[in-house]
Structure 1
Amino acid sequence: MVLGSVVVVCGVAQVRSSASDHRYTAGDEVPLYANKVGPFHNPSETYRFFDFPFCSSAPVKEKKEALGEVLNGDRLVSAPYRLDFLLTKEEVAKFRTVVSKNYYFQMYYNDLPIWGFLGKVDKEGKADPSEYKYYLFKHLIFEILYNKDRVIEITVRSDPNSLVDLTQDEPVNVDFMYTVKWKETETPFEKRMDKYSQSSSMPHHLEIHWFSIINSCVTVLLLTGFLATILMRVLKNDFVEYAHDEESADDQEETGWKYIHGDVFSTSFIFILALVGVFYPYNRGALFTALVVIYALTSLIAGYTAASFYCQLEGTNWVRNLLLTGSLSCGPLFVTFCFLNTVAIAYKATAALPFGTIVVIFLIWALVTSPLLILGGIAGKNTKAEFQAPCRTTIYPRVIPPLPWYQQTLPQMAMAGFLPFSAICIELYYIFASVWGHRIYTIDSILFIVFILLLIVSAFVTVAMTYFQLAAEDHEWWWRSFLCGGSKPSYKT
């Protein structure tokens, strides 16, 4: 059944059914919200829908949004349609600018996202940009699929026959309108989000993902074979040699890692930084809400771990250590936020957080994060265990012999980060395409497999690098092992 009609409205009717359960009866108004507008090739640059001269018959009604939706840059407002009005020369120029930059708009209908372009540029047969024609779409066609009392799918397309010429800086009359077509479908409500995940789960895309996994598995097997056949053989020979030396000549000078075995457990400062992410691709703002909540709650674990390790390694100023734990990640993040939010406010972008949201985040940090961090630090200080090294440590560390350039910190980090990065580089492309583009990443199972392989490869490479460092009689392995294991982000930049 197809119900086609051109609807003329001068405002937004009162919604008589709750949209929370997505159920409606005949005659109910399903709310349509306009979200934001921005250039297609830069999804991070978005502006409020009514920052542009669209029609509005009444004061714009903003939709109350959750914390995560605001952090995501969503600014939903009611979307009245088809009003006759006059575009001034300035408004024509503004529309022409966004059309030339291929701007798109985003709306939400019953929590279903829809996208469309504001206009088009006619470049056919024209070599000189001054001869281009700029057109604004004034007629949108909404096609809505429903199953009984629920909306299943919605698409929007622009009518190519309803265009407004914006080439000249002259006032023009624009008659915005839209057409609604309702069609019945057998698709169940539970599968209405499937179409948004098809792009990332197409057969040719899955083949690329599985190729990435196979590449990572081969890397893991090679590293496992390397550690099993080389390192274990070397260590076995070392143990036999050292045992023979102890029996035959106790005064013979030790070499290699045995020479510094009493120095490798000398006390060092340790900072543990953890990031736990949760991603719900279809729930607007869920990722940012989860990040804020998890960061606030895990501050208890951070405080406990930092204070426990610090006191275990005989640190004396545990309060300073606790302050560093709370500020090493939060401080740079706050400075970056202040800069980016200031720029967003200057450009009136939707990424700018409202003052109320900033206050909410500050209260979460002051009333939840900081107290939990302090409680965790006190608990870690009082329940610390005594550090037990597996061997007797020396009082005075030995002098590290001169090392060749390839055994310095930076070359070791470069070598240690290459193999783990090669194991995830293909998957990383799709993740960045989702973060910085319009893709939606939904293959969580493959991402989990790649993540496990990344951990294994990182562990194996770090073990190998640490052994080579100790074999070169360099006992300062604590920070080196941490930097080698965490050198992968340098390749991502």
Structure 2
Amino acid sequence: MHADVRRGTALCALLALTQAFYIPGFTFKSYRDGETIPLFVNKVYSDKSELQYAYTELPFVCPPTHRIKTGRFTSGASISLNLGEVLRGDRITVSDYELIMGNDEEARYLCAQTVDQDGLKRTRELIRDGYVAEWIVDNLPGATSFQTTDKSRKYYAAGFKIGEEVVSKQGGLPQYLIYNHVTLVIRYHRAPGKDGDRGKKVIVGFEVFPKSIAANNRTEDGLPKDLQNVRDPMMLIPTSNSTGEIDESEAATLTIPFTYSVYFREDEQLQWQNRWDRYFVAQEDSSNVHWLAIVNSLVIAGLLTAVVAVILARTVRGDIKGYQEDGGKPKLKRARGPMSPTNGMEKGGLLDQLGDLEGEADVSDDEEPEDITGWKLVHGDVFRAPPHGGLLAPLIGSGTQLLFMAIGILLLSAFGILNPSFRGGYVSVGTGLWVFAGLFSGYFSSRVYKTFGGQLWQKNVFVTASLVPGLLFSTIFVLNLFVWIQASSTAIPFGTLVGLVALWLFIQLPLVYVGGWYGYTQVGSWTHPIKANAIPRQIPAQPWFTKDVQAILLAGFVPFAVVFIELMFVFKSLWVDKSGYYYVFGFMAVVSVILLVTVIEVTVMATYIQLCSENYHWWWQSFLIGGSSALWIYAYLAWYFFARLHITGFVSSLLFFAYGGLACAVYGLLTGTVGFLSAYAFVRRIYR
């Protein structure tokens, strides 16, 4: 009864986290009338490509004049970025757009940019691929405004298109127009507290409405004569200024005038702490699907829990009870395979129920008790050190490091400390947690390594500290070569790569060393209730479902079934919306807890079945089964690529599958470690 109450309380607490979608920052910026508000330009991105580009490096963008100054910002200056922003491809620069709080501007001239043939070709390619621009005001991304289907609510889609592809109904080649005028709508609200009493305001919305206006029919200042009735768009076709005819010469250029309008509008309904809500309206409409994901996960986990309870509780306890009733002296029969005398058995565990084979039952070296079957037959080999234990130990250590990082990010996100307003925060904080968790990595790796009988603990520490980071760094470096060629902002700068190496060398490596030293020399190995036989037992032929490939595929499907609905939202946020504003970490936290419980139960059940088949090679098998759902997730990722995405090009496809593979490998390492540790605890429990 008490256990049920505790489980119910824990479940309610987890479900309560689903309401912790977003908690804003603790400070806000307020502006008084007449104060200049900086507008930052960042990058352009598309759902058809994995390549992003810095906005200021595009051929049609007006070069900065350094004439706008507001506080510490000067137009053309690059903003210092955190690690997460750099890795996600951000390149934030102060623009020449002048926004003054409370001052509406019907039309202002920015510049006239002359673009050559190569630049026009490049611009047409960006428009064809559907690239959208990301601008930022007061940490809010410029948004395209929409209405819900019932017209009851407004919602935002981050970014705005840089142009449009026009396809003629009569056929022929498509034409491209560029949006060279933007109407900026800044929505504000009275500032909270004393700032509001002084007349200050806070920004709660930033909307961008782009428009294409031809270069003709303008005033001497370069402004359109009539913004409301625009007849001709700005087509990306070089023309002769005198005749208006198309100029097809290689030296032809096109001069594009850029203008903008600014309007400030008060929004009395939207508070500052809720200003991100409009970016999430579309996601909130799918909350029922998130609940469906949780119910689906609970049903699967509940059924699995019932199976594990029946198989393990009844079967194992039944075996114990049978031996207790028989006085611990079962009858004898001939052994099925070669077996050496058992040594090192301790009293008080399950094996104590078997009796002393040499003393009490008078069993010879080639005989076994008649009633000993299944998992009890391999008691003399179950704790035999696995092959390649020097590789398994570093993997387990790295898995515990990932587990600590993942739990930290989920908790910080579910309680709103990490949120979309903290740009790049997930990657930056995750990297910090990963580095700090090097202590746990070295500790667990060294203890497992010593348990396997390893002697060179310093070598194990170095392998633990460099195996996963080295593989990740090498893969990312090779992929970066392809991205550098494309001149994309997705490429990690060389200085950042050097900084990451220094972070590993001077911080993580010493932390792993300290944890490894403490785990190996001060704490030592885990003790086992029995010693391994001198001669390994022969393993009989295995059923088809316990063989390596079949067992891994079958066991991995169950955890995948728990998370695949929530994965749909993660994939959509990363590769369809391209905003990265996945925010329902309350739901994610609940699903993650259910996932870990499912991984533990699947691994324990698979290990029990394997031992019942007299196969004592469970060390690696438990790790692989725990992480096997990564294979199903990668297959799901491949299906999503071909069925739902519009990504084209070799480099973009390579980046998608390579980074997707790295993410699945990291996930598999984490869940594989959870599976290994749970199977290890289970085996120690039944053989004690």
TM over 0.5: yes
Matched, 1:189 2:272: yes
CA distance in 1, matches of 2:168, 2:481: 41
Q: Tell me the CA shift for residue 392 of structure 1.
A: 5.2
Equivalent position of 1:179 in the other structure = 261
> Deviations 1:236-262 (Å, cap 9, x if unpaired)?
443355554724444544321111122
AA in 2 matched with 1:135: L
Equivalent position of 1:464 in the other structure = 605
Given the alignment, which residue of 33, 39, 44 partners 2:40?
Answer: 33
The 5-angstrom pairing of residues 108-119 of structure 1 reads 108-114=136-142, 115-119=159-163
1:423/1:454 contact within 8 Å kept: yes
Equivalent position of 2:202 in the other structure = 150
Given the alignment, which residue of 311, 325, 331 partners 1:230?
Answer: 311
CA distance in 2, matches of 1:431, 1:213: 15
Equivalent position of 2:224 in the other structure = none
Matched, 1:211 2:350: no
Q: Tell me the CA shift for residue 376 of structure 1.
A: 1.6
Equivalent position of 1:138 in the other structure = 180
Given the alignment, which residue of 200, 211, 234 partners 1:159?
Answer: 211
Identical-residue share of aligned pairs (%): 29
> Helix, strand or coil for the counterpart of 2:184?
strand
Matched, 1:332 2:471: yes
Q: Tell me the CA shift for residue 197 of structure 1.
A: 2.2
CA distance in 2, matches of 1:482, 1:395: 25
Matched, 1:93 2:121: yes
CA distance in 2, matches of 1:52, 1:226: 59
Equivalent position of 1:10 in the other structure = none
The 5-angstrom pairing of residues 367-386 of structure 1 reads 367-386=506-525
Q: Tell me the CA shift for residue 124 of structure 1.
A: 4.6
2:64/2:95 contact within 8 Å kept: no
CA distance in 1, matches of 2:531, 2:502: 49
Summarize the Cα distance change of 1:208–1:417 in structure 2 as closer, same or farther, 3 Å threshold: same
Given the alignment, which residue of 432, 440, 461 partners 1:301?
Answer: 440
AA in 1 matched with 2:592: F
CA distance in 1, matches of 2:602, 2:83: 40
Q: Tell me the CA shift for residue 175 of structure 1.
A: 1.5
Summarize the Cα distance change of 1:229–1:353 in structure 2 as closer, same or farther, 3 Å threshold: closer
2:462/2:509 contact within 8 Å kept: no
Equivalent position of 1:259 in the other structure = 377
AA in 1 matched with 2:314: R
Matched, 1:446 2:582: no
AA in 2 matched with 1:121: E
The 5-angstrom pairing of residues 44-55 of structure 1 reads 44-53=50-59, 54-55=61-62
> Helix, strand or coil for the counterpart of 2:283?
coil
Q: Tell me the CA shift for residue 489 of structure 1.
A: 0.6
> Helix, strand or coil for the counterpart of 1:329?
helix
Given the alignment, which residue of 76, 82, 95 partners 2:92?
Answer: 76
State the superposition RMSD in angstroms.
2.1
CA distance in 2, matches of 1:338, 1:475: 40
> Helix, strand or coil for the counterpart of 1:199?
helix
> Helix, strand or coil for the counterpart of 1:200?
helix
AA in 2 matched with 1:137: Y
Taking structure 2 as the reference length, the TM-score comes to: 0.65
> Deviations 1:41-94 (Å, cap 9, x if unpaired)?
33x310111222211252632122222221221101122252123333333222
Given the alignment, which residue of 315, 322, 327 partners 2:454?
Answer: 315
Summarize the Cα distance change of 1:55–1:319 in structure 2 as closer, same or farther, 3 Å threshold: same
Summarize the Cα distance change of 1:350–1:63 in structure 2 as closer, same or farther, 3 Å threshold: same
2:382/2:617 contact within 8 Å kept: yes
Structure 1 stretch displaced more, 301-310 or 470-479: 301-310
Q: Tell me the CA shift for residue 484 of structure 1.
A: 0.7
Matched, 1:120 2:161: no
Summarize the Cα distance change of 1:174–1:93 in structure 2 as closer, same or farther, 3 Å threshold: same
> Deviations 1:189-211 (Å, cap 9, x if unpaired)?
21111212222221xx1111111
> Deviations 1:366-424 (Å, cap 9, x if unpaired)?
22111111122212222124532234543332111121332211111111100110011
> Helix, strand or coil for the counterpart of 1:135?
strand
CA distance in 2, matches of 1:138, 1:467: 67
1:96/1:167 contact within 8 Å kept: no
Equivalent position of 1:346 in the other structure = 485
1:308/1:383 contact within 8 Å kept: no
AA in 1 matched with 2:42: N
> Deviations 1:123-144 (Å, cap 9, x if unpaired)?
251433x1x2211111111111
1:143/1:183 contact within 8 Å kept: yes
1:72/1:284 contact within 8 Å kept: no
Q: Tell me the CA shift for residue 467 of structure 1.
A: 0.9
Structure 2: which 5+ residue stretches go unaligned?
1-26, 67-75, 98-109, 143-158, 191-200, 213-229, 239-247, 333-360, 364-368, 635-688
> Helix, strand or coil for the counterpart of 1:383?
helix
1:312/1:384 contact within 8 Å kept: no
AA in 1 matched with 2:539: I
> Helix, strand or coil for the counterpart of 1:258?
helix
> Helix, strand or coil for the counterpart of 2:539?
coil
Summarize the Cα distance change of 1:57–1:445 in structure 2 as closer, same or farther, 3 Å threshold: closer
Equivalent position of 2:82 in the other structure = 66
Structure 1 stretch displaced more, 243-252 or 341-350: 243-252
CA distance in 2, matches of 1:377, 1:267: 20
2:448/2:525 contact within 8 Å kept: no
Q: Tell me the CA shift for residue 334 of structure 1.
A: 1.2
CA distance in 1, matches of 2:619, 2:204: 56
AA in 2 matched with 1:488: S
AA in 2 matched with 1:177: T
1:299/1:373 contact within 8 Å kept: yes
